Amino acid sequence: MIDYQPLQAEVARHPYPLLFATVSGAHLYGFPSPDSDYDLRGVHILPAKEAVGLLPKQETVVVSGWREGAQMDLVTHDALKFFELLLKRNGYVLEQLYSPLVVHTTPEHEELKAIASGCITRHHSHHYLGFSATQWELFRKENPPRVKPLLYVYRVLLTGIHLMRTGKVEANLLTLNEEARLPYIPELVERKVRGSEKESLEAGEREFHRAEYARLLAALEKAAADSALPDEATARDALNDLLVRVRLRPATGPL
């Protein structure tokens, strides 16, 4: 259960108005350990004077530290940078935008979620294929192998498959597994949630999961090939209109 009060207090200290802030990471994915930190992600709005001036711009704001006994990492991008990432087939920003773990929201947040559906293409599969390969390498090289990177492998692959088939963003592994029905997922999640960030697997389990990784990787590739999603984003004009409106709004506090 997430205590939102310290998260909201952290967000309230942000130097710029926020379009939204949500929880990402292990809490979003459905397998936080007792020692998991809180990954807060969002979008801030630089005032027009800063955005168009010659001085260095804070396109990304990063704040990290302990708050009320919890480790928090708050990372926000300026709206322009975030919107450009949406148009570059970046799965990370989609998951942050559509995270149901909302710390701060605005009407523009809801508008952006509606617009961003027009940013989703079949080529988002490349993000999930690449991310899963990176996580598999982390898992493969460890001795003993840990549960955490393996759960990331499965979460990423199932998110990508679901996105290719439905056009909807879902990052919670247990929710994804309601459709995938992989019998080993609940037990792996339980080991991570009841253990720690360093919970490990038995050495003999590695070969089974290697075969499952290969099988799901092929399933993601097929889902992308069969997907009805478009090849190109269609939301550029709508994103531009929203950016202009939020940029020209006086920076007098929260949106």
Q: Where are the domains of the chain?
A: 4-119+234-248, 124-226
Question: Would you say 187 and 149 are in contact if contact means Cβ atoms under 8 Å apart?
Answer: no
Res 255 pLDDT > 60: no
Please determine, for residue 84, whether its predicted confidence score (pLDDT) is greater than 70.
yes
Phi/psi for 70 (5° steps) reads: -125, 140
% of the chain residues with pLDDT over 90? 82
pLDDT of residue 18: 97
The model's confidence at residue 226, banded by pLDDT at 50, 70 and 90, is very high
Q: What angle do CA 109, 114, 116 make, to 5 degrees?
A: 90
Dig out the tokens for 80 from the structure.
């322009």
Average pLDDT over residues 175-191: 96
Entry pTM: 0.93
Query: Starting from the edge strand earliest in sequence, which strands make up the sheet with 60-67, in order?
Result: 60-67, 70-78, 38-44, 18-24, 102-104
Give bridge partners of residue 63 from the DSSP assignment.
Answer: 74
Higher pLDDT, 202 or 118: 118
Tell me if 112 sits within 8 A of 80, measured CB to CB: no
Rounded CA-CA distance 183/181 in Å is 6
Average pLDDT in the 206-226 region? Answer: 97
Say whether pLDDT at 70 is over 90: no
CATH fold for domain 4-119+234-248: Beta Polymerase; domain 2 (3.30.460)
Taking residues 95-109, what's their average pLDDT?
A: 98
| Predicted pLDDT at 51 | 94
* pLDDT exceeds 90 at position 35: no
